[in-house]
Amino acid sequence: MSDGLAAFGGRASLDLLAENDWAVAFRDRYPVSPGHSLVVPKRAVQSLFELPPEEFQSSWELVAIVRSQLQERYQPDAFNIGINDGLAAGQTITQAHIHLIPRYSGDRPDPRGGIRWVLPEQAAYWLPSSNTNKADFNLNSKGDS
């Protein structure tokens, strides 16, 4: 199996939190919140969706374990858990990884919308002036309409 940790500097350079047969968890080197951690498959793949089913499931099982550890240690009020799947989604390291970002009441003035803020003009779907109602979500086009 190829080394999925090489993209992060290799095992020796990581602050390991947990591990199972198919994935490793460690602290993010550039945390956006106290406790920000990553779960990374041991197999070198750019997308989690390239993994065999057992390895995919094992990665998410490790997410649950690390979430519990972070909850106990940092006592956050909530979590953002997600992936940047591909360059257009903001993936800057071409090894699949899952972010666990502990969130705390007051860390943002208005956290409503959460992950939707990756596209700010679409995020405030609850507001009448939101562009969400105007957006073309036709999956057959690439925005060239």
- The catalytic residues are 97
Q: Which helix (H) or strand (E) holds 120?
A: helix 120-123
Beta bridge partners of 24: 19, 40
Report the distance separating Cα 114 and Cα 92, nearest Å.
Answer: 20
Q: Which helix (H) or strand (E) holds 32?
A: none
What is the number of residues in the chain? 145
Report the distance separating Cα 58 and Cα 56, nearest Å.
Answer: 5
CB-based contact 44:22 (threshold 8 Å): no
Report the distance separating Cα 31 and Cα 114, nearest Å.
Answer: 17
